[in-house]
């Protein structure tokens, strides 16, 4: 594929030697444009297309000469940016006709004809019932309604299509185009945007949540249950320590046997475990009770036949947790 344009890149001598036009340019700009043009041409011949295109583009910005534009278009074609090159060749063709340069007219026309069938094209189609005020962008460039249904020339590669409308969720999709593709993209009907509640409103709802302290209360139940379990374990080892101590004393009359010594050591170990377990259990039960009592459950309203409203709430009694029943009229 590259051999065709590689031959063409050996541009006519008039192109190579043609310095950018100096009309209406400052001397410094003209000199810089000429230097960039020369460097860009050398890089283009060397196959360093990215650098070449950048220098040629800057040269054309400083001094928009037709010869520079033709070389820039050739560079973009070598990069694979077919639609970009095609548009630049068309612009160069108009300039060459204006300047009455038949050689450039012929060269530009030949490249336009050769590129045309290779350029990927995208056609946008709208779904029925499209939202009012819908806007479509292709690669962040707005495509107006008049262009919908018309094939848009694009460079090969990935492109991003976005559709948005007031009060609707935006639609975004990525497509990949290859040379010669003719792709039809149907924009679906945009869905209404339900929206998210503002932060202030969300905070207000959270504050009025009747069960806003549920997580603290659940943590209290878990901590309290863990404390009860630690109390049970500590109590078990406490009983074991008492039994081992009693058996040890029984075997020390009048001289302690080896088994009596072992039982005495076991009693001491079990006593230490009992102290730790009971201590942790007391702390756990106290912490869990605090969390439960300071984060009560919301009252569940129950309507009675007589019109009274009943509620259930946790309470605390000398024997432990209790349920308090309250009524109001």
Q: Where are the domains of the chain?
A: 2-118, 121-187, 212-295, 298-329
Distance CA(42)–CA(304), nearest Å, equals: 95
Query: Binning pLDDT at 50, 70 and 90, where does residue 101 land?
Result: very high
Angle formed by the axes of helices 66-79 and 2-9, nearest 10°: 160
Helix/strand number for the chain, H first, E second: 10, 10
Fold of 121-187: Immunoglobulin-like (2.60.40)
258, pLDDT greater than 90: no
First to last CA, the chain: 90
User: In the prediction, which pLDDT does 69 show?
Assistant: 96
SS3 164: strand
Residue 202 confidence (pLDDT) above 90:
no
Whole-number Å distance between alpha carbons of 26 and 145: 42
The pLDDT score that the predictor gives to residue 319 is: 45
3-state secondary structure of 322: strand
Beta strands in the chain (DSSP E): 121-126, 135-138, 141-143, 152-153, 157-164, 171-177, 182-187, 302-303, 309-317, 320-328
Higher per-residue confidence, 234 vs 74: 74
Q: Which residues contact 153 (CB under 8 A, 6 or more apart)?
A: 83, 86, 87, 119, 120, 121
Q: How far is CA 45 from CA 33, 39, 264, 281, 308, in A?
A: 18, 10, 97, 84, 95
pLDDT tops 70 at residue 301: no
For the segment 108-165, what is each residue's pLDDT rounded down to a tens digit? 999 999 999 999 999 999 988 888 899 999 999 999 999 999 999 999 999 999 999 9
- Which pTM was predicted? 0.52
pLDDT value for 176: 95
pLDDT > 80? residue 240: yes
The pLDDT-based confidence of 304 (bands split at 50, 70, 90) is very low
Residue owning tokens 């010669």: 180
Instruction: Give the SS3 label for residue 162.
Output: strand
pLDDT reported for residue 201: 44
Neighbours of 20 (CB within 10 A): 23
CATH topology of domain 2-118: 1.25.40
Rank 134-143, 250-259, 272-281 by mean pLDDT and report only the highest: 134-143
């Amino acid at each position: 594929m590259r051999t065709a344009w590689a031959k063409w890149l050996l541009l006519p001598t008039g192109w190579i030697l043609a310095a950018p036009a100096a009309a209406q340019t400052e001397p410094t700009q003209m000199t810089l444009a000429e230097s960039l043009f020369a460097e860009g041409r050398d890089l283009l011949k060397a196959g360093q297309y990215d650098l070449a295109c950048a220098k040629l583009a800057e040269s054309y910005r400083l001094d928009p000469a037709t010869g520079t534009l033709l070389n820039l278009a050739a560079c973009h074609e070598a990069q694979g940016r077919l639609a970009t090159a095609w548009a630049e060749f068309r612009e160069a063709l108009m300039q060459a006709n204006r300047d009455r340069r038949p050689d450039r007219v012929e060269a530009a026309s030949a490249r336009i004809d050769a590129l045309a069938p290779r350029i990927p094209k995208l056609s946008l189609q709208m779904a029925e019932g499209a939202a009012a005020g819908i806007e479509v962008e292709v690669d962040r460039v707005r495509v107006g309604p008049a262009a919908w249904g018309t094939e848009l020339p694009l460079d090969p590669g990935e492109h991003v299509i976005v559709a948005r409308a007031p009060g609707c969720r935006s639609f975004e999709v990525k497509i990949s185009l290859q040379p010669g593709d003719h792709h039809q993209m149907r924009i679906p009907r945009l869905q209404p945007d339900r929206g998210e509640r503002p932060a202030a409103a969300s905070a207000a709802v959270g504050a009025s949540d009747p069960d806003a302290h549920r997580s603290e209360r659940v943590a209290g139940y878990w901590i309290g249950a863990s404390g009860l379990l630690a109390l049970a374990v500590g109590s078990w080892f406490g009983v074991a320590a008492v039994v081992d101590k009693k058996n040890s004393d029984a075997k020390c009359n009048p001289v302690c046997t080896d088994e009596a010594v072992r039982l005495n050591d076991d009693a001491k170990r079990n006593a230490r475990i009992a102290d730790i377990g009971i201590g942790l259990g007391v702390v756990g039960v106290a912490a869990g009770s605090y969390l439960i009592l300071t984060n009560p459950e919301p009252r569940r309203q129950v309507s009675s036949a007589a019109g009274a409203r009943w509620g259930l709430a946790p309470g605390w009694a000398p024997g432990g947790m209790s349920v308090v029943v309250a009524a109001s009229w």
